[in-house]
Amino acid sequence: MTAAKKIHGPHDPKKIDLDHDWELDYWTRELGVTELELREAIRSVGSNDTERVRKHLMGARPQQIVDRSA
């Protein structure tokens, strides 16, 4: 088993890192979006800041985005 498979969360929970497949998988599951939706949200807010992206997605689809930060 590789080291990436053992990691259950992001290296930095305040930033969404799309350069690693396992982080991309984590964030799409965490936010309940597709890879394309996640990439578009990051592009729309101009940042990979987790809270900014989460808020943007909640505005787009509030009934489907789960806020697990609380």
CA dihedral 26, 30, 34, 38 (to 10 degrees): -90
Indicate whether this model's pTM tops 0.85. no
The residue written with tokens 């949200």 in the block is 41
Q: Please choose, from the candidates 32, 68, 28, 34, the residue with its C-alpha nearest in 3D space to the C-alpha of residue 51.
A: 68
Task: Among 5-19, 28-42, 47-61, name the one with the lowest average pLDDT.
Answer: 5-19
Given a contact cutoff of 8 angstroms between Cβ atoms, the answer to whether 48 and 18 are in contact is: yes
10-38: pLDDT as tens digits: 889 999 999 999 999 999 999 999 999 99
